[in-house]
Amino acid sequence: MTLPRGFYFRPARAVARELLGCILVSRRGGTLTAGRIVETEAYLGPEDAASHAAIRPVAAHRLLYGDGGRAYVFRIYGVHHCLNAVTGRAGHPGCVLIRALEPVRGAPTMARRRGVTADSVLLTNGPGKLSEALAITLRDNGADLAQGLVMIGPPDAPRRFAVGVGPRVGITRAASRPLRFWIRGNPYVSRR
DNA sequence: TAGCTGATTGACT
DNA sequence: GTCAATCAGCTAA
């Protein structure tokens, strides 16, 4: 059970907000690991100076300018991976960065990969951390999020939470736009 | 070919 | 609070 591709065929801001509460599933590494999405950031097209559609045109074009519903994975600072969901129809670039998860399946496996205890928020409270916990790498770049080893499914419970909205974290351009969304009060949301 | 930058994290003062 | 690790992909030449 995964989200239909049509879910992603909308502006990044709307997808980012509705991705909260959805379940990210990975079967990389032979073990099922999954987490509830508790924090996202929207990145728009070339008019958004922080978007890779603007600052990494050649590398990101093919994915970001294509149809939504695929994974866009990149390496940052040479050490960590960041997982995005591409949004919008072909010709309408945008993506949503998955910034934090609350583990729901395979926490012991995540703990082994991360080197922390299974009940620690350090498991998945950041984009680089959740990628390591779910064994997501550049191999998953371009993967179809509706089928395959890395997928996103609908919420496993009604959305009964307050959504926080604020500026995006850790970027150097267009840093003040309120395009970051999170589940209020969830301990796995990354602070800063 | 060489040099630079970064949507992060963790260790340290 | 500061700072280094480490590399894909860009830019300049």
pLDDT tens-place string over residues A71-99 = 999 999 999 999 999 999 999 999 999 99
The yes-or-no verdict on residue A57 having pLDDT over 90 is: no
What's the rounded mean pLDDT across residues A164-172? 93
Q: Which residues touch strand C (CB under 7 A)?
A: A 56-59, 75, 77-79, 138
Min mean pLDDT across A22-26, A46-50, A120-124 is at A46-50
Query: Å from A101 (CA) to B10 (C1')?
Result: 19
pTM given for the model: 0.95
What is the end-to-end Cα distance of chain A in Å, rounded? 34
Per-residue flag: A41 CB under 7 A of strand B? yes
